[in-house]
Structure 1
């Protein structure tokens, strides 16, 4: 599931569906991902792969002017819609996308699971990609600076790379400090904010690669059993875990401060931190704990939390987010509850690196060879 808000419109993806809710007109609509438009000269094997029915949407992006919406799917499709959800482009990329974003000029940046980022020109009818940069591991998120001059990429190997855009061969800096995979990077008011599987949120001067501050979210989890249970489960897979990983991070700007909201693996709450933009000091502002573990959330002037059976809306009132019985959103959820199916939230566990000890196996094979050679 992906959620974004743009120009008083809420966009939600679930499975192979894209749903739009307009707060002003109170109208809503949904569309399903169409079959791929296959390029010519494909082999039979390639056609079978691209035609497979897994059209689950894995990434969502809205252009800066709000005029276009782009989604990518598990079967390597990228579809661009206009504001009315009419299809403008439908094309195939070489590898499954991990993240796509619009550039400031309306072109599409596509990061794939092998670690490459490609640029697709919006007006290029041939949809020929331009390779921008590459990582040695899976890229998990991409962010562009507000000025459009810099691109930030993060990966499974704890690295954050800052490059010039579009001349990405010119690397500005690396922001190093996370101890696990970096799932999310966002640039707000010239501050880079990152979230990781190590349970921390870090603030950066990304042009210098300097860490400005760090928030340890696990310090505000009031249930120590959660980490103990998770550590035992991951230990079975030979993974050492020292913190509950951050599964999502959302940021909202409020005058001279930022609100940073995070969700943690299997934690029944959304933590909200207040960060001063001038001093980069932070404080724990609020923890919202719905009845069930939040599956997905989105933070703006409002806070939307999805769990297993409903959508809960919170409004920012008197310096805090308070529950807002919004009949519009309740009606919206009831209409599309058959589409808004929640998937397993264990996806984040596959990002941990497994440790394999093959020395013992090697010694046993060597011993067997020596015995048979006698």
Structure 2
């Protein structure tokens, strides 16, 4: 799986155990930096937690099939000076930019469990990490010791995403049990409200800049909902609809609505890209205000199911794929129809100033494809890579088996309580 993140003039690309940072220049061109990943330390302070003993027992039973190294989540800080990433080996790594092309890994911390999201506060150097067990930990960059972080939110449901307000005034987490919890920050034990209404797991969250600042959520129930984080009131609901594809089972299409996998918002806050689970398309939604809500002007067809999507500061849309071409770039057309179109690198490029995005796109696509060829298994064009199907709750109808067992018990009880017949001696022959 390939992750891509964009902020200011920086593009971060993460795949398997490699991380690259691209910095575009105002006059054209770019700098490419391979982020150094420090070696894992032997000390793990999170071993004192009761949960780690259970996880270690599970991991020891999986020695025959080791999990490939990869990154589970990553993000820039609001100022884009820091970049954070968490590996599937439960390591939090934070890089700091000291100057053009100079990024240094400043801290490495161990987290309790595999993480689903990492964020950084805008008002202080604090990193928040949410893990899949339902806990959120805070890590202060000034701490010199690996204390395992401070627990600020504890939930019984599996957390799937997390966002923090622009002014660090609230923290919102979504879970598998259809809920969004909005807590005051930093005192997260004070729950402000719950955003209730989804009927399936809530996979992704994003913030619509204000004023007022709004919360947008995507779910496995096939809806994208807009909320007021102050009151938890639902402001708008958008139903995601997709055309039935060839080969889809009729029952499966009718029983399960399209699951929203990721939401990425344009810097201007008017266009949002939406990824649907197991769908080789990128849905583009346009925000029309509180009265009209979201509309769907266009869908972008891609060769296979996308891994990730992000907007850069030029409002260009980057899409990472697991089959060639490994990266596709889209831009908003200046035509009267205002459609989005794919940008392709020409066979012969006379100068970088002619198409400033072309050399960067070529390098990013080539780098990602080389990583796939060297360290990743091939992925089929319509493969279910990273499917969300395991998040659906399974319902079992055991009424028939229960009635059958009950019938057998009654028959056995009746046979046991019936009076035994005495064996009669045969009459003697006369």
Same fold (TM > 0.5): yes
Q: Which has the higher contact order (CA 8 A, sep 6+)?
A: 2
* Offset, 1:314: 1.2
Deviation track 1:44-86 (CA, whole Å, cap 9, x = no partner) reads 9859969977431101021111111111111111111123342
Deviation track 1:250-307 (CA, whole Å, cap 9, x = no partner) reads 11143xx621211212323211111134545332222112344434322340011223
Q: Distance in 1 between matches of 2:105 and 2:410?
A: 62
Q: Distance in 2 between matches of 1:290 and 1:347?
A: 17
Deviation track 1:187-211 (CA, whole Å, cap 9, x = no partner) reads 1220111111111111111211111
Unaligned runs of 5+ in 1: 234-239
Deviation track 1:18-64 (CA, whole Å, cap 9, x = no partner) reads 12122225222334644321227869985996997743110102111
Equivalence map 1:44-59=2 (5 Å): 54-59=68-73
From the superposition, tell whether residues 292 and 119 of structure 1 become closer, same or farther in structure 2 (CA, over 3 Å). closer
RMSD: 3.1
For the pair shown, which has the larger CA radius of gyration, 1 or 2? 2
1:312 correspondence with 2:319: no
State the match for 1:193 in structure 2.
Answer: 216
From the superposition, tell whether residues 251 and 166 of structure 1 become closer, same or farther in structure 2 (CA, over 3 Å). same
Pick the structure with more strand per residue. Answer: 1
Q: Distance in 1 between matches of 2:311 and 2:11?
A: 11
State the match for 1:65 in structure 2.
Answer: 79
Query: Is the CA contact 1:69–1:81 (under 8 Å) kept in the aligned structure 2?
Result: yes
SS at match of 2:30: coil
* Offset, 1:358: 5.3
1:299 correspondence with 2:311: yes
State the match for 2:167 in structure 1.
Answer: 147
From 134, 141, 156, the equivalent of 2:176 is 156
TM-score by length of 2: 0.75
SS at match of 1:347: coil
From 388, 393, 412, the equivalent of 1:353 is 393
From the superposition, tell whether residues 231 and 169 of structure 1 become closer, same or farther in structure 2 (CA, over 3 Å). farther
From 200, 219, 226, the equivalent of 1:180 is 200
Query: Is the CA contact 1:102–1:108 (under 8 Å) kept in the aligned structure 2?
Result: yes
SS at match of 1:3: strand
1:88 correspondence with 2:106: yes
TM-score by length of 1: 0.86
SS at match of 1:27: strand
From the superposition, tell whether residues 359 and 17 of structure 1 become closer, same or farther in structure 2 (CA, over 3 Å). farther
* Offset, 1:249: 1.3
Equivalence map 1:182-331=2 (5 Å): 182-189=202-209, 190-218=213-241, 221-223=242-244, 228-229=248-249, 231-232=251-252, 241-254=255-268, 258-277=270-289, 279=291, 281-300=293-312, 301-307=315-321, 308-310=323-325, 311-318=327-334, 319-325=338-344, 326-331=358-363
Q: How many corresponding residue pairs?
A: 363
Unaligned runs of 5+ in 2: 345-357, 417-430
Equivalence map 1:11-30=2 (5 Å): 11-24=12-25, 25-30=29-34
SS at match of 1:55: coil
* Offset, 1:223: 2.9
